[in-house]
Amino acid sequence: MKSLYSMFLSQAYQDCWDDYNRSVKLKNFPRWDYVILTASNDQQAEGFRRQIEERKEYLPARTRFAAVPDRDGERVGSGGATLEVLKYLHEQERDFRKLRVLVIHSGGDSKRVPQYSALGKLFSPVPHQLPDGRSSTLFDEFMICMSSVPSRIREGMVLLSGDVLLLFNPLQIDYNNVGAAAISFKERVEVGKNHGVYVNGEDGNVRCCLQKKSEEELRKAGAVNEAGCVDIDTGALIFSTAMMDSLYSLIGTEEGYDRYVNGTVRLSLYADFLYPLAEDSTLEQFYLEKPEGEFCEELTEAREQVWKVLRPYRMKLLRLAPAKFIHFGTTKEILALMCGGVDAYASLGWSSRVASSISGSTAGYNSVLSSRASIGKDCYLEVSYVHSHAKVGNNCVLSFVDIHDEVIPDGVVLHGLKQRDGKFVVRIFGVQDNPKENRLFGRNLDEVAEKLGTDLWDGGNHTLWTAELYPEKDTVREAVAAALNLYALVIGEGRLEDWKEGPRKSLCSGFNAADPDAIIAWNRRMADLVRMDELAKAIRGQVPAQTLPKRKALTKIQRHWLEKRLTRADFSEKLRLHYYLGVVLEDENEVQKCFGTIQSEVLEATVRSLSYNEKAHIVKDTHTVKLPLRVNWGGGWSDTPPYCNEHGGTVLNAAILLNGEKPVVMKLERIDELKVVFDSRDMDVHGEFEEIGELQRTGDPFDPFALQKACLLACGIIPMKGHSLKEILERLGGGFVMHSEVTNVPKGSGLGTSSILSAACVKAVFEFMGIGYTEEDLYSHVLAMEQIMSTGGGWQDQVGGVTPGLKYITSMPGIDQKLKVVHVEIPEEARKELDERFCLIYTGQRRLARNLLRDVIGRYAGNEPDSVFALEEIQKVAVLMRFELERGNVDGFAKLLDYHWELSKKVDAGSSNTLIEQIFSSIEELIDGRLVCGAGGGGFLQVMLKKGVLKKQVAERLHEVFMDSLVDVADCKLLWE
């Protein structure tokens, strides 16, 4: 039954949401002509107007919204406020007929929930994120839930209590614009005794209205049915236009307005306007009904006139089912709702955490809780930020405050409020405290005043509401400290001299002096910070960037947050902040900043290790270095920044000859002219340099001599800045020419030619210039070259081609990668078998002209699960490959090559394409393992043949399928020595 009840309410709310959207978007959809909010004073009314303006795009454009304050800031009662509304409407329209008016009585001080006083309880948070992503308030829920009502009434005025949220199906409203109607539904008598209750007559009209009567009195009056339920007063009423005219007649003259709308009479909507409508009411009893203010002669005279104008009308009882009302009464009730009670409304989408970046069990609304902060049980954060070093006790409510390293005691409310003069007041009181009473943290306030040695009240009632306890400070953080000091003083600790310094505010005066713009701005600020903190936590939690909701451009507050965060972020967080923002904002500039961060951080670490070699000199007239190519077998991509910087890399690769040659050639030649000449035959470019500036200018990916320049800088031949090229060359013993060439290797081969050419360049320079080196020196200088050139690639290629044989290469995490290279020895039989079964196939096409590296790094930086898993698994494959080869198990190696191919496609789907799959498919029965060379997408493929299969058979099959195309078996040989 409970689930069916929830389903009905959920469907009713969905219907209301649909009608709400129609009212906003459709010109002719029935909507309210006026929505009027009553306010306690001009300041609160202005706050209401600001909140409405803030929601302008979410409200029906043809509905007029108004906030009507109590007269002269004097409390005139809910009945007096209703008359103020009628006066306002009459000034606007002169005629109430054909008007649909929604009035929300929201002018209370919210004394029992002081954190909502400044903007009124009407704009207090509701634990619900609306379907359009906004954090909801009571006002938002009212607008949604009442959006279907205009279509159910022809004209008239609907009145609601601003602290009671009604959930019901508006289709059940049946009102014919006669007299009044009270909206009610059944509720347990235990609940009803704390609210108003209607007793229904036989004709469907209300027989009597009972306000906060005991269960015994309710039963005696016949208000309780056999199920123990009553017709509860929800505070929702409908007045006909005729009734509106009659009520307006009381104040149609200035004399009448003065008589009935004032702080002495304080007419009540519920006690004074409803009572005459009940069938069993009598004038004599009416005089005795408990007033909203005090009994007085003026009230008696007013009631006599109210009786005359309203007694002709009756009030129909509209019983709705299923229905529910939620009373936002006290701080204690709100804390209970947020810390468990909200589960009862899960079917409506309510949750203990709304638009908040909070983990654990803490409830929150537009709030951030640092994962490193300490917080107790059953706490509720409201538009607040709890930073990493804060300690918050149990059963606390934090509202509109930032907590940094403070210790918040158990069971307190801490509420920040900016004043119109720019100062801050933070009010602290107990969750159990009732500000209408004379107690604070359970202690008598008169005794507290005596302990503090000062009078807390300037006359009037001695209540917490009016006690001048809270110091006014320049900043919210100072105000938090002052509030905590007050708590310490009350319990017998604290610094009395600090508390006495400067002006103090009461709950009441702080509310009256509040700055509504600042409250709205703080709410907006926290909404912005929540989104940024969610982003940071998503990065830490490895939530894939692509799964996060898209957003608009960053606000000023979010930009400031980002700037501060980046200054203290480490390498990993910094690059991901940019990448994640690029994804959620769909901003390519931020994505590029991610790659720029990787390049700059690694380059910076590289440059720090470089030094100008003033001792180098040319020792040979000419010198040539030839290097082989390499095939990647295991661990490819794990050698690429930022993965290798964060996790280290593991790679297994081997050197190869192509067409019986070492195709990567670098030749250096001394010349007498004091200049540097670069000559690249395969690229058909030639350049001569006599000034050092051009040689020091690097980082342009389109520079045809980027490699040669980077080599001279990395090897210390040319300094990074300054100096004279002529002087350098004189010291070296002459100028020189650098000839580079990669022979008979198609572009985009996937065999590591670019990086191996870098290695050849470094090796040739070292030997030409008489610089001693180790293998490790070669690797580190080539790494430096790669970063200077801004290529962003990995380190496996150059290692694979520098020396013959099979290499197992690893690195530890770190910006400055230190390579450990092990030359793997395998049994002679396994070598022979590999020579026979290893086969290289040319696809006939270059790799596609697309940014493979960018896509792969992006998927990894964005924590795409397939990519992260595959990169980790790929390293394990490299380890297992070495193990299988060292024990001579070539079949096991072949299976791992196949598995690596599947993982490579998870890292980057672009590593394969239709042609590659067709090639593999055409020779499926001839091979045991397959993998692309390099990044894939073209170039060469490598396969392990089945035992007994000849390379000639593969070539014949390829010729048969692909005929005269370039797809063919390559002349390749593993270079062991």
In the Cβ-directed half-sphere of 541, how many Cα atoms lie within 13 Å? 15
Arithmetic mean of pLDDT, 4-9 = 78
**What does the pLDDT look like over 184-235, one tens digit per residue?**
988 899 888 888 899 998 888 999 988 888 899 999 999 999 999 999 998 8
Across the range 890-900, mean pLDDT stands at: 97
What pLDDT does 170 receive? Answer: 78
As a whole number of angstroms, the distance between CA 417 and CA 505 comes to 11
Q: Rounded CA gap, 745 and 49, in Å?
A: 74
Q: Which two tokens stand for residue 747?
A: 């572009």
Q: CA 94 from chain center: how many Å? A: 50
pLDDT of 853 above 90? no
Give the model's pLDDT for residue 847.
Answer: 65
Query: Residues 6 or more apart from 580 whose CB is under 8 A from it?
Result: 535, 538, 539, 545, 548, 862
pLDDT value at 849 more than 70: no
Q: Can you tell me whether residue 577 is helix, strand or coil?
A: helix
Tell me the chain's radius of gyration from C-alpha atoms. 40
Q: Nearest Cα to 944, choosing from 877, 882, 896?
A: 896
The pLDDT > 70 percentage for the chain reads: 99
Which residue, 690, 684, 675, is CA-closest to 737?
Answer: 675
DSSP 269: I
Do the beta carbons of residue 151 and residue 174 sit within 8 Å? no
Residue count of the chain, please give it: 977
CB 69 within 8 A of CB 81: no
Fill in the amino acid letter for 588: E
Helix, strand, coil share (%) of the chain residues, nearest 5: 40, 20, 35
What's the mean pLDDT in 3-30?
A: 88
- Residues whose CB falls within 8 Å of the CB of residue 889, separated by 6 or more in sequence, listed in order: 830
Within 151-288, strands assigned E span 156-161, 164-168, 180-184, 186-188, 196-200, 206-211, 229-232, 237-239
Q: What percent of the chain has pLDDT over 90?
A: 76
pLDDT at 1: 46
Instruction: Give the span between the Cα atoms of 557 and 527, in whole angstroms.
Output: 10
Pairing of strands 806-811, 819-824: antiparallel
* Coil vs helix vs strand at 372: coil
CA angle 706, 712, 718 (to 5 degrees): 120
567 contacts: CB under 8 Å, gap ≥ 6: none
> What 3-state DSSP class applies to 615?
coil
Res 401: pLDDT: 97
Q: Phi and psi (nearest 5°) for 257?
A: -60, -45
Contact 811, 644 (CB under 8 A): yes
Work out the pLDDT band at 461, boundaries 50, 70, 90. confident
Domain 828-974 part of CATH 3.30.70.890: yes
Cβ atoms 383, 399 nearer than 8 A: yes
pLDDT of residue 851: 61
Edge to edge, the sheet with strand 838-842 lists: 927-932, 940-945, 838-842, 968-969
Selection from 147, 199, 203, 161 nearest residue 179 by Cα: 203
Q: Specify the pLDDT at position 792.
A: 64
Q: What is the mean pLDDT of the chain?
A: 92
Report d(CA 479, CA 821) in Å as an integer: 61
Q: What is the mean pLDDT of residues 828-834?
A: 96
571-584 and 556-568 are packed helices; what angle lies between their axes, rounded to 10 degrees? 160
132, 133, 138, 143 alpha-carbon torsion, rounded to 10°: -10
Contact, 970 vs 954, CB < 8 A?
A: no
> In 393-463, at which residue ranges do the beta strands (DSSP E only) sit?
397-399, 402-403, 407-408, 412-418, 424-430, 439-440, 443-444
Whether residue 329 has pLDDT greater than 90: no
d(CA 575, CA 590): 10
User: What DSSP designation does 460 have?
Assistant: S
Residue 970 C-alpha from the chain's centroid: 52
pLDDT of residue 326: 78
Around 190, how many Cα atoms within 13 Å sit in the side-chain half-sphere?
1
CB atoms within 10 A of CB 220: 11
User: What are the distances in angstroms from CA 4 to CA 10, 113, 325?
Assistant: 10, 34, 17
Interatomic CA distance for residues 350 and 127, integer angstroms: 5
Alpha-carbon span 967 to 629, nearest angstrom: 20
Residue pLDDT, tens place only, 545-568: 999 999 989 999 999 999 999 999
Span between the terminal Cα atoms of the chain, in Å: 81
**Are 886 and 788 spatial neighbours (Cβ–Cβ below 8 Å)?**
no
CA–CA gap between residue 146 and residue 17 (Å, rounded): 10
DSSP state for residue 346 in the 8-state scheme: G
Residue 848 pLDDT > 60, yes or no? Answer: no
Roughly what angle, to the nearest 10 degrees, separates helices 852-861 and 588-608? Answer: 90
pLDDT at 869: 95
404-407: long-range pairs with CB below 8 Å, 24+: 404/477, 406/480, 406/481, 406/484, 407/484
Identify the pLDDT of residue 850: 46
Q: Which two tokens stand for residue 350?
A: 């309510």
Q: Of 11, 28, 29, 9, nearest to 19 (Cα)?
A: 29
613: closest CA among 708, 694, 712?
712
CB–CB of 261/71 below 8 Å? yes
Q: How far apart are CA 765 and CA 712, in angstroms?
A: 8
Write down the pLDDT at residue 328.
Answer: 76
pLDDT surpassing 70 at residue 951: yes
Confidence category of residue 175, pLDDT binned at 50, 70, 90: confident
Is pLDDT of 544 > 60? yes
Element (H, E) at 664: strand 664-671
Angle between helix 588-608 and 571-584 (nearest 10) = 160
- CA dihedral angle for residue 804, residue 807, residue 810, residue 815, rounded to 10 degrees: 20
Domain boundaries of the chain, sorted by first residue: 2-185+234-324, 352-515, 521-604, 622-824, 828-974
Looking at domain 622-824, its CATH class is: alpha beta
In this prediction the pTM is 0.84
Q: How far apart are CA 606 and CA 478, in angstroms?
A: 46
Of 435, 457, 431, which is closest to residue 511 (Cα–Cα)?
Answer: 435
**Higher model confidence: residue 10 or residue 276?**
276
* Dist CA 778 CA 347 (whole Å): 66
Locate 418 and state its tokens. Answer: 């900016």
**Is 493 exposed, middle or buried (CB count within 10 Å of its CB: 0-12, 13-18, 19+)?**
exposed
| Contact (CB, 8 A) for 687 and 747 | no
